[in-house]
Structure 1
Amino acid sequence: MVKQSIFGRISQLVRANVNNLIDQAEDPKLMLDQLVRDYTNSIAEAEDAIAQTIGNLRMMEQDHAEDVSDAAEWGRKALAASAKADQLRTSGQAADADKFDNLAKVAIGKQLQSEREAKTAEPTIASQNEVVEKLKTGLEGMRGKLGELTAKRNELLSRQKLASAQSQVHDAMKSVNVLDPTSEIGRFEEKVRREEAKVIGQQELDSSSLDAQFESLDDLGKQSEVEARLAALKAGS
């Protein structure tokens, strides 16, 4: 049950679609951070459980190898005892021969027992080897997903920082819009224009006053000419 539970959880995590999870999350960064922590913890738990499963499998394999070895050893002992019994029986020592035949039977019984134990363990060992291979594959898949999640989180953080910087630049550009007549620069420009207009008005005013002065001089000149001609007329008469 423990191994099946681990394998099921590994399979579920490996099949997780990161993009779908991000789309459904209210805060993708927080969700990815949590997923990274979950995957990291699950990987650590899976590694411990798989290591224990592999350890148990290797013990079963060692027991199986010992059963096979014991069966072979009991077979050799049975053969040796049977051969000794045949030798004694040939030499006329029937009682001693029977004893060795009995020993051969005991050895054969031990051999059969070891063979049965080895054969009984073989299906379980084969099944456990399959489970271990699936668990290893699942674990590698989880590690791959963890790398994918980490890369996705880092990409998201970079994009978020870039977007924030762009937003700040955009806001700064909006606040310093020289074409906005309500801005400080617009008001200052309007003030300068008024001062320039005032200077132009003063220049026009000064120019008008100077023209009037010259016109008065012209009038004086005309009067002087009249007076001079009048004096000439009188002198000629």
Structure 2
Amino acid sequence: MGIFSRLKTLISSNVNDAINKAEKPEKMLNQLLIDMNQQLIESKKAVAMAIADEKKLEREALNQQTQSQEWERKAMLAVQAGKDDLAKEALLRKQEHDNNFVEYQKQWETQKASVDRLKESLRDLQNKIEEAQRKKNLLVARAKRAEAQQKIQSTISTMSGNKTAFEAFDRMAEKVDQMEAQAEAARELDDLTAGSNLEKRFAELEKSDTSADLMLLELKEKMKSLPDKSE
């Protein structure tokens, strides 16, 4: 189980390291997943070695059992041949292999139980890494959204604290209003001036026509008072 303890320690160390260095969440998560997968590979190798040891113990136990059966067969042959001393020697060898079989069987059972736990832990670890992989994009999106909100809030706070920019903007707005008012006044003056000139011209024209009419009437009256030269 030590391999999984080492993995937990490494991951915790990397997390604390990344947080302390204030790394970007996406970079931190990617690195964590790289570390997790690397440790998963190492863990698989360790579990594979444990399985290999289990199989070796199992084979050795079976071998001891086979040897025991073989010496038992030889003891039977010795008895059939009337060689009891040789049969006793064979039985002693059989007993030795029986003892070895019992010992190897215990070791194999212990190793098998350990391997089963390692396999379960390995499956659990792999599931957690797969879950972390699925969650990564969501966490990155949340982090980017939070970062954007922080930037917006920071900009708002900065602008709120800097009244000079807003005051300059207001002054410029007043200046534009003034320019528009001046332009409107100039246009009205031009229209007024143009109207006055037109009226003046018509007044002069009317005055001119009236004087001519009066002079013409005066001339006719004068002519009436003159003697008629045709007489």
Contact 2:11–2:35, Cα closer than 8 Å, also in 1:
no
CA 1:183/1:125 → structure 2, altered by over 3 Å: closer, same or farther?
Answer: farther
**Counterpart residue number, 1:226:** 221
Query: TM-score if structure 1 supplies the norm length?
Result: 0.68
| Superposed counterparts of 1:40-119, under 5 Å | 40-119=30-109
Q: How far apart, CA to CA, are the structure 2 residues paired with 1:45 and 1:100?
A: 57
Q: Among 207, 217, 224, which residue is 2:212 paired with?
A: 217
Q: How far apart, CA to CA, are the structure 1 residues paired with 2:6 and 2:220?
A: 130
Equivalent residue letter for 2:127: T
Equivalent residue letter for 1:3: F
CA 1:8/1:37 → structure 2, altered by over 3 Å: closer, same or farther?
Answer: same
1:198 pairs with 2:188: no
Q: How far apart, CA to CA, are the structure 2 residues paired with 1:235 and 1:207?
A: 42
1:141 pairs with 2:136: no
Q: Which ranges of structure 2 fall in alignment gaps of 5 or more residues?
A: 13-21, 151-168
Measured after TM superposition, the shift of residue 149 of structure 1 is 3.2
CA 1:137/1:85 → structure 2, altered by over 3 Å: closer, same or farther?
Answer: same
Query: TM-score if structure 2 supplies the norm length?
Result: 0.70
Equivalent residue letter for 2:75: A
CA 1:2/1:34 → structure 2, altered by over 3 Å: closer, same or farther?
Answer: farther
The CA RMSD over aligned residues, in Å, is 3.7
Q: How far apart, CA to CA, are the structure 1 residues paired with 2:178 and 2:113?
A: 85
1:208 pairs with 2:203: yes
Contact 1:89–1:97, Cα closer than 8 Å, also in 2:
yes
Q: How far apart, CA to CA, are the structure 1 residues paired with 2:118 and 2:225?
A: 147
CA 1:47/1:181 → structure 2, altered by over 3 Å: closer, same or farther?
Answer: closer
**Counterpart residue number, 1:166:** none
| Residues 126-161 of structure 1 deviation map (CA, whole Å, 9 limit, x = unaligned) | 22222111211111121112222344567789999x
Q: How far apart, CA to CA, are the structure 2 residues paired with 1:190 and 1:158?
A: 48
CA 1:49/1:206 → structure 2, altered by over 3 Å: closer, same or farther?
Answer: same
* Number of positions where the alignment pairs a residue of Structure 1 with one of Structure 2: 199
Equivalent residue letter for 1:116: K
Q: How far apart, CA to CA, are the structure 1 residues paired with 2:205 and 2:225?
A: 31
Identity among equivalent positions (%) equals: 11
Q: How far apart, CA to CA, are the structure 2 residues paired with 1:103 and 1:191?
A: 129
